[in-house]
Amino acid sequence: MKLLQTFALTAAVAAAAAFGASAPAHAEGKTITLCWAAWDPANALVELSKDFTAKTGVNMKFEFVPWPNFADRMLNELNSKGKLCDLMIGDSQWIGGAAENGQYVKLNEFFDKEGIKISDFMPATVAGYAEWPKGSPNYWALPAMGDANGWTYRKDWFARPEIREEFKKKFGRELDVPKTQAELKDIAEFFQKRVIDGKTVYGAAIFTERGSEGITMGVTNALYPFGFKYQNPKKPYDMQGFVNSDDAVKGLEFYKALYKCCTPPGYSNGYMQEGLDAFKSGQVALQMNWFAFFPGLYKDPNVGGDRIGFFVNPGQKEKGSQLGGQGISVVAYSPNRAEALAYIKWFASLDTQKKWWALGGYSCHKGVLNDPNFKNTAPFAADFLVAMDQVVDFWAEPSYAQLLLAMQKRVHDYVVADQGTAKGALDGLIADWTKVFKEDGKL
């Protein structure tokens, strides 16, 4: 009898253990982790992904890292062949390294098999977020979050009659959205240290951050309109006379002048968050920042709604905006590749893309962007289309981090620390970049 009882108990425990292991897996389904930066669009993606879970039963987990540490944390993860992330919404510049080092799954076959047409996505975003080598039909990501560097301004201040009158008297034109970089600086200078509602305000919050990518993303936004080019279009990696052309020198000098004349005191290490803080607290008339933040700013109770306006980075000699944004990739080390690919398939569909835009994400799908009503869906939607039509990206080479850090140093030394000349900084930059390309065997 005792033996029978023991047997029955053992069987019961074994059965409980077996069901205990499989039942939750059935009930909850598999879980995949998506890694991205911690910012407004990430919250929209959490909301959007609930549809994926409802449709497939695959649970979503998210790993969001604040922007200043995003590259460090995630590149570390990729380089150590970590299994934390099944899906990665990585920065556009990572694509070269991630592709060449086998960290992202190549998606061509999958796209063909599932009938996903990359031509359904805006060409600039495909080139920026998905292709490697650039210009080749090799896709390592699906364009996920379109973005460009743009501007916001205090529409309510611009509308005040006494301010408008004074501006017109001083500059001989109406106070309006700037059409050139020079006009932008005029406006910033006009507002610098102006007292509005009893409070001293400043001209512009621009990118000056030293540690990660901040000042480079800001400076390039000024360099492109002045005519800066990364290389000779006819001879890759030939930078002499392009990176340090007279126009590029003027662009860099312009950015320094803008920093010196028109930023709030102590604004020597500011990036996205510092810009948002300065604008939301009513410190500045103009703010340089990524379009990704514009939906949140528009909803802001203090400076949003009728008080805020948006504009595309103004041209000077030509047009140009720094590309932001990211593609979504499947991490090669993921043990859940099938589920991760299923997410990409679901994300690529037009319905999902429409909802993505509605929730605050920037879709890159032509079906969303080419909709005749798209421009009316948000006050910054039309500007977004214009900006995405003129974007230029930083190097996306496997050695992009070395190229970026070299530029961070050269530019910060010149713009913020007042060391040397613009020509000297750009000449030095060519020397640094040449060294990197030589080490990589590209020169």
Partner 1 sequence: MTDQTGLSGLVDRAALVTSPVVARRVRGLSERAIAWLFITPTMLLLLAINIFPLIWTIRLSFTNYRANRPNATVLDVGLANYQSILTDPDVWAAMTVTARFVFWSILIQTVIGFTLAWLIDKKFRGHGLWTTLILLPMMLSPAVVGNFWTFLYQPQIGLFNYVVAALTGAPASSFQMLAQVPLAPWAIVIVDTWMWTPYVMLICLAGLRSIPDYIYEAAEVDRASPWRQFWSITLPMALPFIMLAVLFRGIENFKMFDMVNLLTGGGPGSTTEMASITLKREAFEKWRTGYSSAFAIILFVTVFGLANIYVKALNRVKSR
- The least distance separating partner 1 from the CB of residue 143, rounded to whole angstroms, comes to 24
- Tokens standing for 39? 């910012």
Please check whether residue 84 is in contact with residue 77, taking contact to mean a CB–CB distance below 8 angstroms: yes
d(CA 55, CA 38): 25
Interaction mask 365-404, partner 1, x per CB under 8 A: ---------------------------------x--xx--
Does position 135 interact with partner 1 (CB under 8 A)? The reply is no
- The least distance separating partner 1 from the CB of residue 5, rounded to whole angstroms, comes to 31
Q: With contacts defined by CB under 8 A, how many residues of the chain interact with partner 1?
A: 33
Does position 269 interact with partner 1 (CB under 8 A)? The reply is yes
Does position 201 interact with partner 1 (CB under 8 A)? The reply is no
Q: Which is nearer to partner 1, 328 or 411 (CB)?
A: 411
Does position 241 interact with partner 1 (CB under 8 A)? The reply is no
Choose the binding region for partner 1 from 14-22, 76-84, 140-148, 364-372 (rule: CB under 8 A).
Answer: 76-84
For 249, phi then psi, to 5°, come to: -60, -45
Q: Which is nearer to partner 1, 68 or 315 (CB)?
A: 68
Choose the binding region for partner 1 from 109-117, 203-211, 288-296, 348-356 (rule: CB under 8 A).
Answer: 203-211
Q: Which is nearer to partner 1, 59 or 269 (CB)?
A: 269
**CA angle 270-79-144, nearest 5°?**
60
**CA angle 263-266-272, nearest 5°?**
65
- Tokens standing for 368? 């969303």
Does position 154 interact with partner 1 (CB under 8 A)? The reply is no
Q: Which is nearer to partner 1, 126 or 403 (CB)?
A: 403
Does position 76 interact with partner 1 (CB under 8 A)? The reply is yes
- The least distance separating partner 1 from the CB of residue 226, rounded to whole angstroms, comes to 22
Q: Which is nearer to partner 1, 104 or 158 (CB)?
A: 104
Binder of partner 1 out of 111, 132, 228, 267 (CB under 8 A): 267
Binder of partner 1 out of 11, 419, 431, 442 (CB under 8 A): 419
Using the CB atoms, write b or e for 23-36: b if 16+ within 10 Å: eeeeeeeeebbbbb
Q: Would you list the DSSP string of 176-231?
A: -S-SBHHHHHHHHHHHTTEEETTEEEEEEE-----SSSHHHHHHHHHHHHHT--SS
Q: Tokens 């990665």 correspond to what residue?
A: 88
Half-sphere exposure of 112 (CA within 13 A, CB side): 6
Does position 108 interact with partner 1 (CB under 8 A)? The reply is no
Residue 204's nearest CA partner among 292, 278, 273 is 278
Does position 79 interact with partner 1 (CB under 8 A)? The reply is yes
Quote the strand ranges of 38-125, DSSP E: 59-65, 87-91
Does position 203 interact with partner 1 (CB under 8 A)? The reply is no
Binder of partner 1 out of 15, 25, 417, 431 (CB under 8 A): 417
Q: Which is nearer to partner 1, 115 or 265 (CB)?
A: 265
Please check whether residue 357 is in contact with residue 117, taking contact to mean a CB–CB distance below 8 angstroms: no
Does position 421 interact with partner 1 (CB under 8 A)? The reply is no
d(CA 366, CA 121): 5
Q: Which is nearer to partner 1, 349 or 399 (CB)?
A: 399
Alpha-carbon dihedral 338, 339, 340, 346, rounded to 10 degrees: 110
Does position 360 interact with partner 1 (CB under 8 A)? The reply is no
- The least distance separating partner 1 from the CB of residue 416, rounded to whole angstroms, comes to 4
d(CA 107, CA 345): 11
Contacts with partner 1, residue ranges (CB under 8 A): 71-72, 75-76, 78-81, 97, 100-102, 209-211, 264-269, 398, 401-402, 405, 409, 412-414, 416-419
